[in-house]
Amino acid sequence: MKYRRLGRTELTVSEVGFGVWSVATNWWGVTDEALGKRLLRQAYDLGINFYDTADVYGSGRGETMLAEALADVPRDRVVIATKFGYDFYSHPRERSGHKELPQDFSPAFVRRALEESLRRLQTDYIDLYQLHNPRLWAIERDDLFQLLDNLCREGKVRYIGVALGPDIGWEEEGIASMRQRRLHSLQIIYSILEQQPARRFFPVAHETETGLLARVPHASGLLDGTYTPGMTFPESDHRSHRKREWLERSLRRVEKIGFIYGPDTGRTIAQAAIQFCLSEPAIASVLPNITNERELQEFATAPETPPLTAEEVARLHDLFDHDFYLEPEEARA
């Protein structure tokens, strides 16, 4: 494993982190809690020291699982990031159709959320505390950021960040987080198939020394070698809600990137997708969705594979900028 500094913080994080979302919710069709905890612990043995969770994952279960999985690991050997902002306490029922829960960024709610996260994580501090999918109105709340400053002074939080979402976009929120609030990190969607608005964040991240965290590097599985035409997903898997046309169109784009993976390159397609993210120096860690031991091993070893060349990265940028040179009927299919 290789490691990078997260922006201007003192945190050193593994180039591949573990997004607890994939094992603490059923959105990827994973329901085996024992497997989830085993993967979390095995990740540490493979050199992963950065774990990204959220209080809302499994309505708190993600944080509890992480604490249980790492119970024998010294606290200062791992970097724990969690998120806040969704009020699952007042809306405890499972979300229907993967809809968002109501958000609450009031100081009183956030302080309560932090104390609950500390309890579930069995720790007295959180390394990186992230606003979870905030809209601009939340980023503009001065009372919220006064509270966050206080939490840092109290030693309960080390650094503050923002995780953009739930879907791609939110450029205004990302820029405001870096320039207006000078936050320490920004978590973004970035992959070969989804390069914007992430690429527009890069110069601002360098200017402000903001550490970037890249999630969904495999474009919801399109870039990990598992997708095939006609593939179906269980109802609980969030990808089952996507239109069939999305899968077919995306697979045509994937066909265009064969030059970055295979025996001659020393990388699998999944490892190449991670190396694409790591080709941007502002990105400190990549958060793939890990659901089994094979994926964990393959993804965790990605930093040891040959980095993409500047020419390969430039070619991937050009492909994206021209919709992978698909014919109009292919792009519409």
pLDDT tens, residue by residue, 135-157:
999 999 999 999 999 999 999 99
Q: What is the pLDDT of residues 45-67, one digit of tens each?
A: 999 999 999 999 999 999 999 99
Domains in the chain and their CATH numbers? Answer: 3-332 (3.20.20.100)
pTM: 0.92
Q: Which residue has the higher pLDDT, 211 or 28?
A: 211
In terms of DSSP bridges, do strands 211-215 and 185-189 run parallel, antiparallel, or are they unpaired? parallel
Residue 246: predicted pLDDT? 74
For 158-166, what is the mean pLDDT?
Answer: 97
Q: Which helix (H) or strand (E) holds 50?
A: strand 50-52
Which positions are annotated as active-site residues? 57
Minimal CA–CA distance to 219: which of 270, 294, 145? 270
Terminal C-alpha separation, the chain: 40
For 177-188, what is the mean pLDDT?
Answer: 98
CA atoms within 13 A on the CB side of 34: 0
Question: Is residue 2 a contact partner of residue 285, using CB atoms and an 8 Å limit?
Answer: no
Q: What is the pLDDT of residues 262-309, one digit of tens each?
A: 999 999 999 999 999 999 999 999 999 999 999 999 999 999 999 999
Question: Is residue 236 a contact partner of residue 261, using CB atoms and an 8 Å limit?
Answer: no
Q: What is the chain's mean pLDDT, rounded? A: 93
Q: What is the pLDDT of residues 232-260, one digit of tens each?
A: 656 655 555 566 677 888 999 999 999 99
Q: What is the pLDDT of residues 77-113, one digit of tens each?
A: 999 999 999 998 887 765 554 678 999 999 999 999 9
Structure tokens at 131: 């606003």
Percent of the chain residues past pLDDT 90, beyond the cut? 82
Q: ∠88-30-83 over CA atoms, to 5°?
A: 35
